[in-house]
Structure 1
Amino acid sequence: MRDRALVLFSGGVDSTTCLAMVVDKYGKDNVVALSVSYGQKHANELNSAKKLAEYYGVEHLYIDLAPLFSYSDCSLLQHSDQEIPKESYDEQLKKTDGAPVDTYVPFRNGLFLASAASIALSKDCNVIFYGAHHDDAAGNAYPDCSVEFNNAMNTAIFEGSGKQLRVEAPFVTKNKKEIVALGKKLGVPYQLTWSCYEGGDKPCGKCATCIDRKAAFAANGIDLD
């Protein structure tokens, strides 16, 4: 059986680089992109995901998991009145005493991967890819981006699917600079991606993901934002 892949796809830098890599490896006809609406303030990323899925010519699916996060007051969510921090993750982690940062959505990647597993099996895919990377896991900022989390979810999904489906996080030990370097080689149209956590028409330039994006682009000689 030929490999078919499902890519969890937000329309941001990491997931777009992941999609480009998977399309390059498997061919667009063997790739399904899955985008998730979860009540995020930065719903702009879904518009980017649509444009990028069309660019790569892959099947694009959507699911809505917003009700599952309705009890959370995470600042990343539309119903929260909490302000999104305007500082780097390093600065935020100095104040958390080892807890995740304020923009951590409770077990988000776990829910995304479990939902993706069901869809992947239904779409005859045998591997799920997602763009978790080392910078997000560092310091426990986003614990559901760690190597340990990925290994545990891979085991659960592999066993729970009757050994039909595996999970791969190709960037889990890489930083954003390295991811953008790969994307640059693959010709990723980063001008179509969206990273900012705010829901405005333009990136705020001050939230942690804007800071990381700008630094990774600058390190690779890319000037977009």
Structure 2
Amino acid sequence: MKNHVMVLASGGIDSTAVMNFYLEQKFFVLALFVDFGQHAIKEEEKAVSKVCEHYDVPSKKVSFSGFNITSDGFIVGRNALLLHTALMEFQERKGIISIGVHLGTRYADCSEEFIRIMQASFDLYTNGRISIGVPFLNWNKKEIWDYCISHQVPLNLTYSCELGLIQPCGRCKSCKDLEVLYAGSS
């Protein structure tokens, strides 16, 4: 019997690396894409589809409407929404819900403290049967990039611009990270 993991997939580098991480460990992986009205919805959804096709991973989409997304960076409550949405969608009695949070951001919902708080919420609902997987929690973006290169993660299929523009746009934090990573890998 395989272990099950639901990966919160955005189509970006981090969630694609997470997907690869669990596939290499022979988990049964299901991707969950959440449309909460983000600026880059169309490009993210295309990237998730391409990545899932590449890995032959089934995916599911959940949509919310009515949120007023005005930020092109930190969105208050986003990772809590994503994790609890995944918990509601996860059909297995036991397993992992994974998210690609990592070091190097100032976002409160990319911290060990946030993951501990969310795990306590999961434990309340599941009596400890569902855990939050954060394989890159203590890695910075460069370490994740290097992992992707060394493990042949299909970076060409990913999309990371928070504004939904041609990447790297040079304006949002994700694209600024990409510019640094591209420059460092040549």
Indicate whether the TM-score tops 0.5. yes
1:45 and 1:195 in contact (8 A); partners too: yes
2:168 and 2:178 in contact (8 A); partners too: no
2:96 and 2:131 in contact (8 A); partners too: yes
2:168 and 2:176 in contact (8 A); partners too: no
The structure-2 alpha-carbon separation of the partners of 1:66 and 1:26, relative to structure 1 and needing over 3 Å to count, comes to farther
RMSD: 1.7
The structure-2 alpha-carbon separation of the partners of 1:64 and 1:185, relative to structure 1 and needing over 3 Å to count, comes to same
Paired letter, 2:74: Y
Tell me how many residue pairs correspond in the alignment.
185
TM-score by length of 2: 0.91
Paired letter, 1:110: A
Q: Distance in 2 between matches of 1:188 and 1:156?
A: 32
Correspondence 1:25-174 to 2 at 5 A: 25-27=25-27, 30-43=28-41, 44-67=43-66, 69-70=67-68, 74-76=70-72, 103-120=73-90, 122-124=91-93, 126-136=95-105, 141-174=106-139
The structure-2 alpha-carbon separation of the partners of 1:168 and 1:202, relative to structure 1 and needing over 3 Å to count, comes to closer
The structure-2 alpha-carbon separation of the partners of 1:57 and 1:124, relative to structure 1 and needing over 3 Å to count, comes to farther
Structure 1 residues without counterparts, runs of 5 or longer = 77-102
Q: How far does residue 202 in structure 1 lie from its aligned partner after superposition?
A: 4.5
Q: Distance in 1 between matches of 2:130 and 2:25?
A: 18
TM-score by length of 1: 0.76
Instruction: Name the % identity.
Output: 31
Q: Secondary structure at the match of 1:134?
A: coil
Q: How far does residue 205 in structure 1 lie from its aligned partner after superposition?
A: 2.5
Structure 2 residues without counterparts, runs of 5 or longer = none
Instruction: Detail structure 1 runs of 4+ shifted over 4 Å in the superposition.
Output: none
Q: Secondary structure at the match of 1:32?
A: strand
Q: Distance in 2 between matches of 1:159 and 1:124?
A: 14
Q: How far does residue 185 in structure 1 lie from its aligned partner after superposition?
A: 1.6
